[in-house]
Structure 1
Amino acid sequence: MSSSQCFENPPNLSSTCGEGRVEELAGLKAYVTGPSDSKLAVILIADVFGYEAPKLRKLADKVASAGFLVVVPDFYYGDPVVDPSNPNFSREAWLKTHSPDKGYEDAKPVIAALKSKGMSAIGVAGFCWGGMVLVKLAGTEDIQAAVILHPGHITEDEIKAVKIPTAILGAENDHIFPAEELIKFREIMSAKTEFESYVKIFPGVRHGWSVRYNDDDESAIKSAEEAQEDLLNWFLKHVK
């Protein structure tokens, strides 16, 4: 399949989408892209729609083009959310099987595997569910930098526990994580002077805008690209 076919509407979620390859890492399938001899890695933790999402892989390729080895693990073991509006889909049952706590435990051997391959610095970006996993990782010193995009349900205590340079990119119109909560998090993060952090609220966008935008909406594309540039610039600054 050509790369262009990966971005059809509706998209074809073939595992051959993107410029990279699918391989096994720490017991998980993962989309891997970028220079294999790089000593700098970035992990992207997908939202509930999974590691095969074409626009997420497109972002992975974009980050890889800056010199990072980028890994997008399948933390859902081939069971992403396909249609949340399906009356037979149970969000509670899915989250019981795929909890952020389990994602956190699964992420640790991925990080260890990258370090065993010679990675000297690792950054992680998490989208929604992925942000719920990432905030736990950011409370350790196993990684060097974090970017949380349109967060899922994360707590003030988790934010207070963050130990590494962290950026939070949120939506003005977010039914899952309202802008008012982001403002609270900005206050908490700004009090942490031992490392750099920031919280940015994107106007006029909704939850998921950075990787689930409408290809026919120029404004949506522009907002997504701005968030992606912020993500990349954060890693260029802090993962080195």
Structure 2
Amino acid sequence: MTVHNTNQACCSIPPVKSDYSPKGTTEKTGGLDTYSIGPKDAKHAIIVVYDIFGFHNATKQGADLLAESTKARVVMPDFFRGKPFPQSFYPPDTDEKKQALQSFFGAAGDFGARKPDLEAVADELKKDGAAKLGLVGFCWGGKMSVIAGGEGTKFTAVAQVHPAMVDAADAEKLTVPVANFPSKDEPQKDVDAFEAAVQKKPFAKDSVYKHYPDSHHGWAAARADLSDEGNLKNFQDVYQRLADFFNKQLA
């Protein structure tokens, strides 16, 4: 079996049910259905790359918070085209489910295949008047966001929250500041190596890092349990840090 994602927490923690009512709307951006909130003519825009569970109310709630705190246009494209990884397959406790998860990372979740989608969304946002673009991703989306911050990037700054498949090689290729917010479940040696690579960059002083040692992988997206006081506190904290980061970098 080909393994595309070796993060054990990502491959075991199921999403939660959320009763939040999102404030945004769904429209087409770059050819994709996109959750959108904030002024369409904003000079700054932030693209949110969700985790493998796709459009989830907790992730939309985060996007709403980000839009409110930055006054930017915030969009979350549906890269999986209505077919996120099935929640019924969590936890992947059989060989069939495990294979399905890894196959998902190799197909719908293939970063190379999604890159043109991301660029199409970025181009349309710029056409609509966004002078600067930010990018933030969760789990799978965190890896995608950092990869997109390499040479020739369309983004002024990128961010990853409880990222999957943390790799210092991705940090070495970055050309723009990064905000990095790992959970307790990302391998510490990989997180440390990533951060060490960032600190060697000329934009190290503009980059932001906070480790959340008491939060599980997914606490800021589809696996957020906001009925838990500790999870809620760190959920609010990380979105405020993201807003502060983007407010500074996109100014």
TM over 0.5: yes
- Counterpart of 2:67 in structure 1: which amino acid? A
TM-score (norm 1): 0.88
Match of 1:46 among 46, 50, 55: 50
Deviation at 1:120, TM superposition (A): 0.2
TM-score (norm 2): 0.84
Residue number in structure 1 paired with 2:9: none
Residue number in structure 2 paired with 1:4: none
Residue number in structure 1 paired with 2:179: 167
Deviation at 1:48, TM superposition (A): 0.4
Residue number in structure 2 paired with 1:6: none
Cα distance in 1 between the residues matched to 2:73 and 2:175 = 23
Matches within 5 A, 1:89-238: 89=97, 90-98=100-108, 99-140=110-151, 141-172=153-184, 174=185, 177-195=186-204, 196-211=206-221, 212-238=223-249
The structure with the greater share of residues assigned to strand is 1
- Counterpart of 1:42 in structure 2: which amino acid? I
Partner deviation per Cα, 1:201-222 (whole Å, 9 max, x = no partner): 1121111112232232111111
Q: For 2:212, what is the secondary structure of its paired residue?
A: strand
- Counterpart of 1:123 in structure 2: which amino acid? G
Q: Do the aligned residues in 1 keep the contact of 2:226 with 2:232 (CA within 8 Å)? A: yes
Cα distance in 2 between the residues matched to 1:193 and 1:126 = 23
Cα distance in 2 between the residues matched to 1:112 and 1:104 = 12
Q: For 1:23, what is the secondary structure of its paired residue?
A: strand
Deviation at 1:12, TM superposition (A): 6.4
User: How large is the Cα RMSD of the aligned pairs?
Assistant: 1.8
Deviation at 1:104, TM superposition (A): 2.1
1:61 aligns with 2:64: yes
- Counterpart of 1:11 in structure 2: which amino acid? S
Q: For 1:44, what is the secondary structure of its paired residue?
A: strand
Number of residue pairs matched?
225
Gaps of 5+ in 1: 1-8
Cα distance in 2 between the residues matched to 1:227 and 1:159 = 20
Residue number in structure 1 paired with 2:4: none
Cα distance in 2 between the residues matched to 1:92 and 1:182 = 22
- Counterpart of 1:110 in structure 2: which amino acid? V
Residue number in structure 2 paired with 1:10: 17
Q: Do the aligned residues in 2 keep the contact of 1:49 with 1:80 (CA within 8 Å)? A: yes
- Counterpart of 1:179 in structure 2: which amino acid? Q
Deviation at 1:200, TM superposition (A): 1.6
Higher relative contact order (CA 8 A, sep 6+): 2
Using the aligned pairs only, state the percent identity.
Answer: 27
Larger CA deviation: 92-101 vs 125-134? 92-101
Cα distance in 1 between the residues matched to 2:122 and 2:154 = 8
Residue number in structure 1 paired with 2:5: none
